[in-house]
Amino acid sequence: MRVSVEINGRPYERDVEPRTLLSDFVRHDCGLTGTHVGCEHGVCGACTVQLDGVPVRSCLLLAVQADGRSVRTVEGLEWGPLQEAFHAHHGLQCGFCTPGILITVDALRGQALDDAQIRDALAGNLCRCTGYVQIVEAVKEALNA
């Protein structure tokens, strides 16, 4: 099926099978490999993208469902206080989970969240390296910047 998806402001038109997951479409068909694929059943959050501005699991969406819609991946985020805060607070080690976390937190900009709310907002993004403390610190600083 022919699908046309705007990713990070740029149109991508491709032929895909209906069973192609949006995560694979973004990575394999469009070459945007910043979006990572971890568990492929919606648990780990590494594949999180924004669909029309809303964070969703790209492994639980079909590419055909994104036809005519707007997707944002980690490549579409401008470098700024969020990335600086992750750098300053060592909010990543291996970095596998980081794209999903940045995309999730980007959608929270402008909200004042306490530690518990930040942890709740990040509950859908698994990180096997950091223990989360530095991530929470980074997000707290970024949201208050």
Partner 1 sequence: MKPARFEYAAPESLDEALGLLDEGSKALAGGQSLVPLLNFRLARPERLVDLNRIPGCDHVREEGGSLRIGMLARQVQLTELEAWPLLRDAVDHVGHPQTRNRGTVCGSAAHADPAAELPAALLALAARFHVRSASGTRVVAAEDFFVGYLTTVLEPDELLVEIEVPPHPPQWRFVEYARTHGDWAMVGAAVAGDRTALFATGDRPRLTRDLAVVDDPWKRAFLEEALA
**Which parts of this chain interact with partner 1 (CB under 8 A)?**
1, 17-19, 21, 24, 40-42, 45, 48, 54-57, 59-62, 64-65, 104, 120-121, 123-125
Nearest distance from C-beta of residue 87 to partner 1, angstroms: 24
Least distance from partner 1 to the Cβ atom of residue 59, Å:
7
8 or 20: CB nearest partner 1: 20
> Which is closer to partner 1, CB of 1 or CB of 10?
1
What is the spatial order of strands in the sheet that 10-15 belongs to?
A: 10-15, 2-7, 70-72, 48-51, 54-57
User: At its nearest, how many Å lie between partner 1 and the CB of residue 64?
Assistant: 6
| Exposure b/e, 90-128, CB count within 10 A at least 16 = b | ebbeeebbbbbbbbbbbebeeeebeeeebeebbebbbbe
